[in-house]
Structure 1
Amino acid sequence: MNYYFIIYKPYLVQSQFSQVDGKQTLSDFFDVPKDVYPVGRLDHDSEGLLILTNDKQLNHRLLHPANKHERKYWVQVDGAITVDAVEQLSRGVSITVDGKPYRTSPAHVELFKTEPIVPLRNPPIRFRKEIPAPWISIVLTEGKNRQVRKMTATVGFPTLRLIRYSIETLTIDGMQPGDLISLSKSTLYKKLFHE
């Protein structure tokens, strides 16, 4: 039997169930059947949408580079990000992946006009009164290691907080860190692949 869950992965939690170096893992928050695992990953210091399943076909369809799908990230950056920096991110920037230069694909990047409503983070980001910490939305169709953080650092506005908000039309709307929702295969596939 195949299972399909979406979770809001909390901050400072590894995207795996097996224990590692005394860090918190998914097993500290989610009780799912033994053969269920995350599809893809979010870094230890990132949070947000993660799919858990034992459907190997879904894993292939989502992770194979030939199968592009949109992933939206809400990113809080350090400093008043400029229109020029947003345009650079949109066109693609040069980052390093596995020690080699890599040019990111064009992305859809927007500055939030009003701050998005997001759960409080524990611990919160360090607040500095003199330095703005605005939010941008970045939609990617690729997923290199720590790509969003490398992209914002390249244009001079390091990432302070990173939340994966959606994969295609699947979102974390209404969810809090540590929440788990069980979905049917048909609902999940419809949101991911528009089937």
Structure 2
Amino acid sequence: MSQELYRLNKYLSDAGVCSRRAADAAIEAGHVIVNGEVAVMGMKVTSDDMVLFNGKPVSNKSKKEVLIAYNKPAGIVCTAEKREKNNIIDHLNYPERIYPIGRLDKDSTGLILLTNQGDLVNKIMRAVNAHEKEYVVTVDKEITADFIKKMANGVYLDELEVTTRKCHIKKLGPNKFNIILTQGLNRQIRRMCQALGYHVRTLKRVRIMNINLGDLKEDTYRDITPSELKKLKKMLEGSKN
């Protein structure tokens, strides 16, 4: 019986090594070896091929599915890069190979998901899928009605040369607000506030789609519950990866 063929970037993603985008970059950089030869973009492999990623063997054969919610403290960097001493993977020291779904910048706190399921990462992360992420933010001065209106309607970011999507925002206190985004531009909330003359003091992510931070203590993690996972997968139906 013929072996099923997988595109190499999907094979690496399914194996929990990295996202497809990161796999493409690694292949282009010559960091992936298949059966003793340097891999090339677009090639296909089977489960029986010998695949090395940065010199380490990779397999996409059946493994435990992992999806955890972590309450990230400030100072931890959402990368698997070993050269970063505060990288999230070494800090957690989880017994399975996992990697973060997206980023939460070093100074920010709150919810980040980590998994070994590549397709899950792609579907949640791709901006075109417009999945919600919710934050609670404090700033350095009193929030005005004009600030709320401008944030909600979209802010032009000079550095990125883009206007942010319209979003839901609610004032919670004199200098505190709740905001729900459907895109993930680099340091988006901080840039939006800065463009309007405000500076972020604290930024905490409290929800990703249907997964809530809840009362999870800082610097601890939990498994996503079966009911949460079922609802998440339902929400991801039709999402592009």
Q: Tell me which residue corresponds to 1:87.
A: 149
TM-score, scaled relative to structure 1: 0.81
User: Alpha-carbon deviation of 1:66?
Assistant: 1.8
| Cα separation, 2, equivalents of 1:184 and 1:70 | 19
TM-score, scaled relative to structure 2: 0.66
Structure 1 residue runs without a partner (length 5+) = 114-131
2:120 partner SS: helix
User: Alpha-carbon deviation of 1:135?
Assistant: 1.1
User: 1:129-148, aligned counterparts within 5 Å?
Assistant: 134-148=175-189
2:137 partner SS: strand
Give the direction of change, closer, same or farther, for the CA distance of 1:150–1:84 in structure 2 (3 Å limit). same
Say what the alpha-carbon RMSD is for the aligned residues: 2.0
1:129-164, Cα deviation, whole Å (9 max, x unpaired)? xxx7x2111110001000000001111121111111
| Percent of pairs with identical residues | 28
State which of 1, 7, 12 in structure 1 corresponds to 2:75: 12
| Structure of higher CA gyration radius | 2
User: 1:1-195, aligned counterparts within 5 Å?
Assistant: 1-22=64-85, 24-96=86-158, 99-113=159-173, 134-184=175-225, 187-191=228-232, 193-194=234-235
| Cα separation, 2, equivalents of 1:146 and 1:161 | 13
1:17-42, Cα deviation, whole Å (9 max, x unpaired)? 433354x2224542323421001011
Higher relative contact order (CA 8 A, sep 6+): 1
1:176 partner SS: coil
1:112 partner SS: strand
- In terms of mean alpha carbon deviation, does 68-77 or 13-22 score higher? 13-22
Paired residues of 1:149 and 1:158 also in contact (CA < 8 A): yes
Paired residues of 2:127 and 2:182 also in contact (CA < 8 A): no
- In terms of mean alpha carbon deviation, does 160-169 or 139-148 score higher? 160-169
2:79 partner SS: coil
Paired residues of 2:137 and 2:201 also in contact (CA < 8 A): yes
1:152 partner SS: helix
Q: Give the paired residue count.
A: 173
| Cα separation, 2, equivalents of 1:15 and 1:193 | 26
